[in-house]
């Protein structure tokens, strides 16, 4: 369920009129709903139970206000860089609730994580394991470690978001995991505590997840038989959401409940602390990108609707061929006709397209449109390509709103560069 609906002829985020908001702050901008984030987090947390550890996957949305909101709800953070660890700390997430994942952690990043005393580092390569042992021992510390296993079960809605196949770069093989777990158990500086797995993103069929979790359960049993302590199992994230907003109310809670039941069925007898790393599931449907129609470009066989948002603001359609619903901010009346449009941005790339042959109510210059389900992998993946400014992010709570990231100024954009004195 999301909290975007038409009231008195205008799309609202909770009780905030998005047309008035667009008039005030200008377009394009991201808008996030506090009520939706809270609801999705609580649905997930309640389904998994009080003993589950929930680490929000910050790569989905790393705005400090969103992180602070999730921290107050009890979430930890799943991070993949030093910058994300610093953001989590700045948002008030305790070090003891931060997991550090990622395939290419540098020695500097590992040293920073160890120095902060974070909850767990998920090791993804043999070289990283030895580097971390050396770094932690040199600092006189013992860092809690899990080994990320690649179970050769890949899943996800697109090849570019599948992470659990042997063709993917993430984690170590099952056989290497057994060998490395044994070796690491005697390394100074390390406290071997468990295993981690993450097979992909936007997964809505639980079959692949169940297969991967079953393989992890077998590995836990084998390690214990070999005399090793396995106290934690990090199951990653990847649970999908509906991008067709009409499905959001009906299918979201059902999928979460089915997922929780599957986890209990497959892993319930292991007696391990279980961690989860949801990201998109919590914030995806909680955000929209508001944009304005600049003009039309009619062609013999189609009409382009050119909007002021672009692929640098929301790259998912260009990168993943991703679908996003597009709603007019002004509710169309019964007499408003519709027609197919290609909705495109102003970037000098043919891939700068949000929708092709999408039937939408007739629009004109100055009309506002809402690109739905943009709360995950939207602002975090944005760029300044074509020297475009980063757009505002706005958090709504009831009838209140706050600009939680202001629009980048051109002065700030230019100040990122420096011209050498010889020029």
Bridge pairing between strands 16-17 and 368-371: unpaired
- Residue that is written with structure tokens 């993103």 in the block: 201
Q: Where are the domains of the chain?
A: 4-31+285-414, 102-276
For residues 325-341, give the mean pLDDT: 94
For residues 400-417, give the mean pLDDT: 98
Distance CA 325, CA 33 (A): 17
For residues 254-275, give the mean pLDDT: 94
3-state SS assignment for residue 336: coil
3-state SS assignment for residue 78: strand
Report the CATH number of the 4-31+285-414 domain: 2.40.37.10
Which pTM was predicted?
0.94
Enumerate the active-site residues: 348
Distance CA 316, CA 374 (A): 9
- How is domain 102-276 classified at the CATH fold level? TIM Barrel (3.20.20)
DSSP code per residue over 9-62: TEEEETTEEHHHHHHHH-SSEEEEEHHHHHHHHHHHHHHH-TT-EEEEETTS--
User: Does the pLDDT of residue 165 top 80, yes or no?
Assistant: no
Beta-bridge mates of residue 190: 143
User: Does the pLDDT of residue 2 top 90, yes or no?
Assistant: no
CB 390 within 8 A of CB 30: no
Question: 47-77: per-residue pLDDT in tens?
Answer: 999 999 999 999 999 999 999 999 999 999 9
Quote the pLDDT of residue 152: 72
- Residue that is written with structure tokens 């449009």 in the block: 341
Quote the pLDDT of residue 162: 46
User: Does the pLDDT of residue 279 top 70, yes or no?
Assistant: yes
Distance CA 219, CA 214 (A): 9
Question: 247-263: per-residue pLDDT in tens?
Answer: 554 456 799 999 999 99
Tokens linked to 112: 């920073």
Bridge pairing between strands 232-234 and 190-196: parallel
Question: 285-331: per-residue pLDDT in tens?
Answer: 999 999 999 999 999 999 999 999 999 999 999 998 999 999 999 99
Quote the pLDDT of residue 400: 98
pLDDT band at residue 233 under the 50/70/90 scheme: very high
3-state SS assignment for residue 242: coil
| Average pLDDT across the chain, whole number | 92
User: Does the pLDDT of residue 164 top 70, yes or no?
Assistant: no
Quote the pLDDT of residue 205: 86
CB 27 within 8 A of CB 290: yes
CB 24 within 8 A of CB 3: no
Same fold, 4-31+285-414 and 102-276: no
> Which has the closest alpha carbon to 77: 102, 105, 96?
96
């Amino acid at each position: 369920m999301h909290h975007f609906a038409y009231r008195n002829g205008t799309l609202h985020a909770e009780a905030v009129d998005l047309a008035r908001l667009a008039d005030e702050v200008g377009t394009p901008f991201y808008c996030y709903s506090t009520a939706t984030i809270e609801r999705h987090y609580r649905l997930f947390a309640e389904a998994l139970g009080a003993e589950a550890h929930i680490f929000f996957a910050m790569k989905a949305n790393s705005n400090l206000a969103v992180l602070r909101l999730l921290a107050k709800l009890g979430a930890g953070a799943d991070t993949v860089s030093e910058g994300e660890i610093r953001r989590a700390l700045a948002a008030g997430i305790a070090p003891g609730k931060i997991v550090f994942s990622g395939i290419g952690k540098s020695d500097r990043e590992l040293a920073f994580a160890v120095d902060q005393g974070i909850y767990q580092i998920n090791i993804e390569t043999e070289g990283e394991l030895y580097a971390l042992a050396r770094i932690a021992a040199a600092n006189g510390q013992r860092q809690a470690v899990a080994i990320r296993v690649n179970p050769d079960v890949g899943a996800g809605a697109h090849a570019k978001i599948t992470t659990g196949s042997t063709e993917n770069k993430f984690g170590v093989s099952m056989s290497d995991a057994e060998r490395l777990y044994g070796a690491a158990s005697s390394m100074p500086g390390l406290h071997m505590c468990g295993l981690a797995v993450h097979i992909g993103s936007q997964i809505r069929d639980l079959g692949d997840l169940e297969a991967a979790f079953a393989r992890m359960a077998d590995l836990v049993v084998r390690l214990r038989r070999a005399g090793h302590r396995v106290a934690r199992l990090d199951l990653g994230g990847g649970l999908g959401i509906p991008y067709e907003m009409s499905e959001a109310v009906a299918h979201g809670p059902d999928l979460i409940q089915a997922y929780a039941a599957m986890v209990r069925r497959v892993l319930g007898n292991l007696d391990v602390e279980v961690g989860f790393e949801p990201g998109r599931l919590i914030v995806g449907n909680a955000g929209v990108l508001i944009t304005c129609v600049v003009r039309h470009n009619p062609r013999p066989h189609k009409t382009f609707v050119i909007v002021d948002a672009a692929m640098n603001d929301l790259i998912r359609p260009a990168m993943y061929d991703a679908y996003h619903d597009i709603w007019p901010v002004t509710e169309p009346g019964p007499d408003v006709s519709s027609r197919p449009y290609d909705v495109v941005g102003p970037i000098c790339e043919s891939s700068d397209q949000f929708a092709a042959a999408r039937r939408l109510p007739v629009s004109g210059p100055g009309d506002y449109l809402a690109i739905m389900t943009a709360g995950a992998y939207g602002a975090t993946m944005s760029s300044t390509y074509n020297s475009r400014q980063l757009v505002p992010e706005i958090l709504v709570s009831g009838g209140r709103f706050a600009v939680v990231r202001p629009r980048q100024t051109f002065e700030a954009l230019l100040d990122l560069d420096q011209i050498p004195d010889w020029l």
